[in-house]
Amino acid sequence: MNRYKFLWYFFLLFVLVSFASRVSLLLYSFDDVDVGLLEFVKLFGLGLFYDVVTYFYYIIPFVVYLFLVPSRLFNSKIHKTIALVIFFAVLYGVVFNAFSEWFFWNEFGKRFNFIAVDYLVYTHEVIRNIQESYPMPLLISVIFVLTLIPFYFMAKKSDMFKAFFQDQSTYKERLKVTLILLAIPVLFFNILHKQTLTTLVSDNRYNQELSKNGFYSLFSAFRNNELNYYEFYKTQDDKKVLKHYRELVSTPNSHFESKDLNNSFRKIVTNGKEIRPNVMLVMIESLSASYMDLYGNDENLTPHIDALAKKSLFFSNFFATGTRTVRGMEAITMSVPPTAGRSIVKRPDNHNMFGMGWVFKDKGYSNKFIYAGHGYFDNMNEYFSHNGFDIVDRISFEENEVSFANVWGVCDEDLFNKAIKEADASHAQKKPFFSFVMTTSNHRPYTYPDGKIDIPSHTGRNGGVKYTDYAINNFLEKASKKPWFDNTIFVFVADHNGGSAGKNELPLYRYKIPFMVYAPKLIKAQEVKKLSSQIDLAPTLFSLMNWSYKSKFYGKDILSNDFTPRALIGNYQKLGLYQNNRLNILLPNATVKSFEVEELQLKSNKYKEVNATQKEIDDIIGYYQSASYFYMHHLDRR
């Protein structure tokens, strides 16, 4: 049947574009890829397999269309015009996807994943961000020309379309071919639940990502954005896990309220008088440790933050739990491990979670989440407004309060000015305040007001970092003139690292971030080198204020003599525990991988795979299975 021959020609084009995309990404990341004949055979072999699988998914609507259209209409002139338009649009989509993958890879070092899925939900921000970041008219024109060349050859210079519109098949004749073509993707759907085959290619994360297909990765991310711990990860008996959880989080100054393992409340008891200063927690977008001079960077991007660290209680061996803003928010406000799938901030069932917002509320504080952008993005307003905070986001800014803005929100200076104004209002009411301030300027398209720093706006990440550094210094200078300054603790911490790509599974160097507590009248400046994590921020902060309170936090006071150095890190599927120079990782195929960290530098790390000890297995399962258990059974609520 002539009408189905089109699918063969389109298959060749689809595979060719996918191959070209894979080669271009390979060349771009060549220094990070494991090279060799066998490595390339596995990479491109599995890549071709995923391209074929993706193709059969991609053509499902066309197969149904080719079956349904009767021959009389199929061979008409009007249908020929429609078919040519559809073919061009489909081909344009394939080429457009290849270009999109290039820019996504440039940002994240990965094929499309959960991040792409999340971004598709917020079309306004994403489209505006793309428009502000890239020369879209030029790119669209280039894609148009690259699409037009094969289209012109196939539509005008070959006999394919001439034969295509000379089909006289009946429904009965087409039924068998249609069923076969639809059965193939159904088979793949039931066999390939996740892209676990990529682990057969190499232990190198770049090789694994290159063997994937972007369309398939996006489809897989839609399908697997929620991961049930008990279905995908190594488990132990719940009773055993909950008992071990109590061992992991217990401290000498705490005790559990009940012997019931389902009750995770414990009382933190301190001696001496509590203090109740104001607290301004500034979460800085994408501020990796690798941007700071104190960690070895020589580009002079953060002179003010470096100076601030020396005047602060500075935690220099501190790690983010994830690679997205909502992961940092989750870890800091709730002090929980980064459970599999999407962040709790983005889940619909996230009201009345136990967290620092309620602890501050119980102490009489006025809590505000102050965000430069629209807080509906990533479900932030929904989360914060139902967990003890009032919302101050982009719509709260008056026109005269905005000097510069891009798609993500107002510039950092405007944000900090707003935070100071909100602090003034709370101070006037003679009520202590806790402000959770989230910046956005260090984010693509990296635009900010002109004339502030020596790097022009819209020229890259370095400018975004340096402008944020400038804005923070400007913020503290203004705040220092306020009557509430001397009685305020300023907390500065990054939400996550400045990039998520890495050669290894869970590259440790990518997760290292700064954490500073600045209060010259209240807290002594010193450097703390203990290995610690975002989940430890809240317990450490409350300890600095000598607070007794009820807790469900997984984190502990870093300054305590009994603190056990460790960091919990993860991405959407891999869950890690770093301690004693070993990184253990729970994988979504019910296995545990263990690595000795042989080297951890500013922009690299080196692992050696080893066998996990039983204690390491018990510990990592104790953290992650218990967190999943509490969430599933609504036991992590206040």
In the predicted model, is pLDDT for residue 629 greater than 80? yes
State residue 109's pLDDT score.
Answer: 82
State residue 195's pLDDT score.
Answer: 54
Q: In one letter, which amino acid is 421? A: K
Tokens (6 digits) for 373: 């952008």
**Nearby residues of 306 by Cβ (< 8 Å), 6 or more positions away:** 292, 293, 294
Structural contact between residues 245 and 266, judged by C-beta atoms closer than 8 angstroms: no
Render pLDDT for 576-618 as a digit per residue (tens, 0 to 9): 999 999 999 999 888 999 999 999 999 899 999 999 999 999 9
Classify domain 277-564 at the CATH class level.
alpha beta
Q: Which residue has the higher pLDDT, 359 or 159?
A: 359
Q: How far apart are CA 372 and CA 380, in angstroms?
A: 12
State residue 312's pLDDT score.
Answer: 98
Going by the DSSP 8-state scheme, the letter that residue 279 receives in this structure is E
Render pLDDT for 469-483 as a digit per residue (tens, 0 to 9): 999 999 999 999 999
State residue 159's pLDDT score.
Answer: 64
Residue 276 Ramachandran class (φ > 0 left, ψ -120 to 50 alpha, else beta): beta
Tokens (6 digits) for 527: 């450097």
Helix axis angle, 537-544 to 325-334, nearest 10°: 40
Render pLDDT for 294-327 as a digit per residue (tens, 0 to 9): 999 999 999 999 999 999 999 999 999 999 999 9
Q: How far apart are CA 636 and CA 343, in angstroms?
A: 14
Residues composing the chain: 638
**Nearest alpha carbon to residue 469 among 450, 452, 490:** 452
Q: 382: helix, coil or strand? A: helix
Q: How far apart are CA 429 and CA 464, in angstroms?
A: 36
Structural contact between residues 125 and 377, judged by C-beta atoms closer than 8 angstroms: yes
Per the listing, tokens 């430890």 go with: 536
State residue 166's pLDDT score.
Answer: 80
**What's the distance, CA 545 to chain centroid?**
32
What is the arithmetic mean of pLDDT over 159-168?
72
Rounded (5°) CA angle 324-627-239: 165
Reported as a pLDDT band with limits 50, 70 and 90, residue 5 is confident
What is the pairing mode between strands 591-600 and 405-406? Answer: unpaired
Tokens (6 digits) for 211: 């063997």
**Nearby residues of 609 by Cβ (< 8 Å), 6 or more positions away:** 203, 593, 594, 595, 596
Residue spans in the chain of domains classed CATH 3.40.720.10: 277-564
Cα Rg of the chain, angstroms: 27
Scanning 518-634, the segments in alpha helix (DSSP H) are 537-544, 614-632
Render pLDDT for 392-450 as a digit per residue (tens, 0 to 9): 999 999 999 999 999 999 999 999 999 999 999 999 999 999 999 999 999 989 999 99
Q: How far apart are CA 572 and CA 267, in angstroms?
A: 32
Render pLDDT for 41-74 as a digit per residue (tens, 0 to 9): 999 999 999 999 999 999 999 999 999 999 889 8
State residue 378's pLDDT score.
Answer: 93
Number of Cβ within a 10 Å radius of residue 483: 9
Q: 267: helix, coil or strand? A: strand
C-alpha distances in Å from residue 305, one per residue of 3, 24, 425: 65, 38, 27
Tokens (6 digits) for 88: 């061009």
Per the listing, tokens 């984010």 go with: 443
Per the listing, tokens 């100071």 go with: 420
**Nearest alpha carbon to residue 507 among 498, 515, 517, 516:** 498
Structural contact between residues 471 and 412, judged by C-beta atoms closer than 8 angstroms: yes
Q: In one letter, which amino acid is 318? A: F
Residue 372 phi/psi, 5-degree rounding, is -75, -25
Longest dimension (CA), the chain: 91
Q: Sign of the C-alpha dihedral, residues 377, 344, 106, 148?
A: negative
**Nearest alpha carbon to residue 403 among 471, 464, 330:** 471
Render pLDDT for 366-392 as a digit per residue (tens, 0 to 9): 999 999 999 999 999 999 999 999 999
Give the DSSP per-residue string, 542-558: HHHTT--EEE--S---T
**Nearby residues of 19 by Cβ (< 8 Å), 6 or more positions away:** 44, 47, 48, 51
What is the arithmetic mean of pLDDT over 219-232?
76
Structural contact between residues 568 and 584, judged by C-beta atoms closer than 8 angstroms: no
Q: Sign of the C-alpha dihedral, residues 625, 627, 633, 635?
A: positive
Going by the DSSP 8-state scheme, the letter that residue 404 receives in this structure is -
Residue 547 phi/psi, 5-degree rounding, is -90, 140
Tokens (6 digits) for 303: 């002179």
Q: 3-state DSSP helix/strand/coil percent for the chain, to nearest 5?
A: 50, 15, 35
Q: How far apart are CA 634 and CA 631, in angstroms?
A: 5
State the distance between the two ends of the chain, measured CA to CA, in whole angstroms: 65
